[in-house]
Amino acid sequence: MDRLLRRLSRIGFRHGMAGEHWAWFVLAAAAFLLRRARRAGDDLVLSRRLEPGERYLVTLSAAGRRSARAAPPGQPGH
């Protein structure tokens, strides 16, 4: 569905910029807004499959800044 909306948005914008009927811009705007609305509730930032034995370290820090103080005791800050 996302691919279809992206394609409609691109096609509508291209045709609208080429001077064709204004309805192409309306199509592009509607497809763009629908695409954004579909993704608005998605809180997933990263998805990764781990094989047995692999580890993935997730670090959270205040206001998105990296800080050595945010690291657990005995662990390096980065």
User: Residues 50-63: what's their mean pLDDT?
Assistant: 82
19: domain range? Answer: 2-39
Does some domain include residue 24?
yes
8 A C-beta contact, residue 24 and residue 16: yes
- The model's pLDDT over 2-54, given as tens digits with 9 standing for 90+, comes to 888 888 899 898 998 888 888 988 999 999 898 888 876 666 677 888 899 99
| Distant-in-sequence, close-in-space partners of 70: CB < 8 Å, separation ≥ 6 | 59, 60, 61, 62, 77
Q: Is the pTM of this model over 0.75?
A: no
Does some domain include residue 62?
no
- Count of structural domains within the chain: 1
